[in-house]
Amino acid sequence: MRKQHTESLRRMGAQSLLAALADAAIEIPDMLIVANMLADELDGQKHLGPLIATEAGLPGIEALQVRAAMATGAAAIRMAYLALKSGEVRTVAIAGLERMSSGDPTPIMARALDAETEIPAGQTMVSINAHIMEKYLMTYNAEYEQFANFAVNAHRNALSNPDALLHKQVNVADVLKAREIVTPIRLYDCAPICDGSASIVLTNDATLARKQNGIQLLASETVCDSLAVAARAQPLELNAARQSAQKAYRRAGIEPTDVDFFELHDAFSIMACLALEACGFAEPGAGWKLAAEGDIFLEGKIPIATFGGLKARGHPIGATGIYQAIEIYRQLRGQAGMNQISNARCAMMQSIGGAGTTLITNIFHTL
């Protein structure tokens, strides 16, 4: 994770891919999925599947690219899950990467909004989330200060994560005095953009998974909503998040109470709050209480952002969901060091594309 990476896009992807393959003791995967949102705009490069495969010395394999706005990494996991379920492939490698320092990603990211109604009005991802947060505060009579622990928790957990972008401890006072970006959102409500690459390997071979100390992907479910937030009946409810989580719970045969920790999409504090509510960890209008009362901390009822989350680890879009999966792997394998969740066996990750438009929920469990 770097604010600005010195490596080329192809080298970033190939290096993390080769490291993941070596860790899994696999020389050549049956399939490679590359997760990236911005390279065609910022780097002038499309067709990343063959590009990364060739750079990694893997010509001749099936290689393709997927993207689903900010949920791109999780979408790659979903595609790998389906491919493995089909039985057509035995091993799938995923390389998530993004070079956001190559140009200004803000207007490009805004294209995940509605081009007919939101973009002409000057909306960006920050401004649309600010409108959602403002409406939330008014509707539920909540105070901005009650959201501060979302940032405090993320920064605290990032301190002991060598891969995190931000190693800076913050307290509630720091959050409250930070500069305002778009009312009511302040600096510490927003995840930083950065460069990054992360890779994983999935297999449907249980023997291989156990031999390589793997974990199990119990469920991968996705649901979409309208691009325009104003077109939704309940804009303060992440309906797609609720539906994808419920589908994943059913698929995995679990309840929210079985989830030991939740790597959610905290690109903005308000999205973390709404995700907690949508996924059944809090009632509507009460997600902030989990933060204010410390229930999201490592020792809390439902820990989130256990390695810093998007907020402090960083949010290199194509790689973000892959980083989440790696962090879950480390937790479930007892390799999280100072960030370890005691007796962690079941974890959930969720990624959001757009402002609550594409929701992908993945549930993992120890073998």
> Using one digit for the tens of pLDDT, what is the confidence trace for 288-316?
999 999 999 999 999 999 999 999 999 99
pLDDT by residue (tens digit) across 223-244?
A: 999 999 999 999 999 999 999 9
pLDDT of residue 109: 96
Residue 41 forms part of a structural domain: yes
Residue 2 has pLDDT above 70, yes or no: no
38: domain CATH number is: 3.40.47.10
Output the six-digit token pair for 49: 């599947």
Instruction: Name the DSSP letter for residue 335.
Output: -
| pLDDT for the residue numbered 6 | 79
Looking at the predicted structure, is the pLDDT value of residue 3 above 90? no
Range 122-160 burial, b when 16+ CB lie within 10 A, else e: ebbbbbbbbbbbbebbeeeebebebbbbbbbbbbbbbee
Model confidence pLDDT, tens digit, residues 66-99: 999 999 999 999 999 999 999 999 999 999 999 9
Confidence label for 51 from pLDDT (cuts 50, 70 and 90): very high
Query: Residue 4: its pLDDT value, please?
Result: 67
Q: Which domain holds residue 356?
A: 9-105+190-366
In Å, what is the CA distance from 37 to each residue of 102, 146, 187?
13, 33, 24
Residue 106 pLDDT > 70 = yes
152 in any annotated domain:
no
Calculate mean pLDDT across residues 128-141. Answer: 98
What is the count of structural domains for the chain? 1
Give the pLDDT confidence score for residue 208 in this predicted structure: 87
Mean pLDDT of 140-162: 98
38 assigned to some structural domain: yes
Q: Is 20 among the domain residues?
A: yes
Residue 273: per-residue pLDDT: 99
Where does the pLDDT of residue 206 fall: very low under 50, low under 70, confident under 90, or very high at 90 and above? confident
Residue 336 is assigned to a structural domain of this protein: yes
Predicted confidence band of residue 367 (pLDDT cuts 50, 70, 90): very high
Question: How much is the pLDDT for 258?
Answer: 99
CA separation for the pair 84, 90 (Å, rounded): 6
User: For position 1, what pLDDT does the model report?
Assistant: 55
| φ, ψ at 261 (rounded to 5°) | -160, 160
Q: Determine, yes or no, domain membership for 62.
A: yes
In a domain, 271, yes or no: yes
> What string of DSSP letters covers 44-92?
S---HHHHHHHHTT-TTSEEEEE-BTBTHHHHHHHHHHHHHHHTS-SEE
CA distance 119 to 258: 40
Instruction: Give me the mean pLDDT over the 138-148 stretch.
Output: 98
User: Does residue 328 fall inside a structural domain?
Assistant: yes
136: its two tokens? 């939330």
Q: What are the Cα distances from residue 320, in Å, to 23, 166, 199, 349?
A: 20, 15, 10, 11
CA 319-321-327 angle, 5° bins: 100
Question: What pLDDT sits at residue 185?
Answer: 98
Consecutive H or E run containing 222: strand 215-224
